[in-house]
Amino acid sequence: MKVLVATEKPFAPVAVEGIRKVVEDAGYQLALLEKYTDRQQLLDAVKDADALIIRSDKVDAEVLDAAKQLKIVVRAGAGYDNVDLAAATAHNVCVENTPGQNSNAVAELVFGMAVMAVRNMYNGTSGTELKGKKLGIHAFGQVGRNVARIAKGFGMEVNALDPYCPDQVMIDAGVTPVKYLDALYADNQIVSLHIPATPETKGSVGYDLVMKLPKNGVLVNTARKEVIDEEGLRKALAERPDIKYVADVKPDNAPVLEEEFAGRVFFTPKKMGAQTAEANINAGIAAARQIVDFLRDGSAPYRVNK
Ligand code: 3PG
């Protein structure tokens, strides 16, 4: 049995070694395709793979067609919007993610970027502190919960909105549940986005919500670029010179935003939230273990396709 790790953005070497140990100890073979630049390389590499570990790598019907022996794909991470779930089901391929494994890394980056924003992108001028400010967490999943924990250390007042999360979970975490999206944006100087990219959420944060932010509001996006209505954001940034937008992944209109709103926007060159050795080890090894379990007895506790 062959387990292929196909990562356009590679794991830290120490994580790859951990994955290798789990796979080889189980008697399977490990193959690596890192930093590939051409889709054909992926199509060739999956040909004889029984299992696949990916990150944000796109797995669609074409990849699944090429992967004749494939039984399972594990997205080492949280969001699986890069995998065509229906096509995987049609190809009889199980898809899992590794929830929670990289969430602290993403949450820490939220504060790296929030501090940068309130300190005016470190341009030498006087900024503000996070202490005593209100933080609105848009979706209270694993990353949102880690963000809340860290925010307490900064001395922030934390509010969150998540229709899928019981209020009591937030209350137990010292977080105030918010019922209305408008209120989340209107009442919190820093809003941190943690919604997944789904047909319902794509383009759902735009002009109206951004305009609701209080004076000197900061929108932090470590989720997905697709959840933003980019033209709406642009319009809001033009009308509200006090607002900043910092995001862990470049929007499609990044060059325009960087030119029009220099000093008020910041984008990482590549998605970096989960780019830590710890997150790579946690998610990568969890993925390898999930594959070994699945190949042994069919167990798939984190299956995300039907
Ligand atoms: C996730 O969904 O787990 C994060 O966005 C990390 O994605 P990455 O593995 O491509 O860095």
What ranges make up the beta strands (E) of the chain? 2-7, 29-34, 51-54, 72-75, 94-97, 134-138, 157-161, 176-177, 190-193, 218-221, 244-247, 265-267
CATH superfamily of 103-267: NAD(P)-binding Rossmann-like Domain (3.40.50.720)
Euclidean distance between CA atoms 20 and 175, whole angstroms: 40
Choose which residue among 5, 19, 102 to substitute to test ligand 1 binding: the one with the highest number of ligand atoms within 8 A of its C-beta.
102
Tens of each residue's pLDDT in the chain, 306 residues: 999 999 999 999 999 999 999 999 999 999 999 999 999 999 999 999 999 999 999 999 999 999 999 999 999 999 999 999 999 999 999 999 999 999 999 999 999 999 999 999 999 999 999 999 999 999 999 999 999 999 999 999 999 999 999 999 999 999 999 999 999 999 999 999 999 999 999 999 999 999 999 999 999 999 999 999 999 999 999 999 999 999 998 999 999 999 999 999 999 999 999 999 999 999 999 999 999 999 999 999 999 999
Euclidean distance between CA atoms 118 and 126, whole angstroms: 9
Euclidean distance between CA atoms 53 and 72, whole angstroms: 9
Q: pTM for the full model?
A: 0.97
Choose which residue among 56, 59, 282 to substitute to test ligand 1 binding: the one with the highest number of ligand atoms within 8 A of its C-beta.
56
Question: Helices 103-118 and 277-297: crossing angle, nearest 10°?
Answer: 150
The one-letter amino acid code at 230 reads: E
Q: Do domains 2-101+275-297 and 103-267 have the same CATH topology?
A: yes
Torsion, Cα of 292, 295, 299, 304 (10° steps):
90
Per domain, the residue ranges of the chain are: 2-101+275-297, 103-267
Domain 2-101+275-297 has CATH 3.40.50.10170: no
Q: Would the CB of 284 count as within 6 Å of ligand 1? A: no
Using the atom order of ligand 1, give the atom closest to the CA of residue 271: 11
Q: Would the CB of 77 count as within 6 Å of ligand 1? A: yes
Q: Would the CB of 56 count as within 6 Å of ligand 1? A: yes
Choose which residue among 57, 222, 227, 271 to substitute to test ligand 1 binding: the one with the highest number of ligand atoms within 8 A of its C-beta.
271
Euclidean distance between CA atoms 279 and 99, whole angstroms: 11
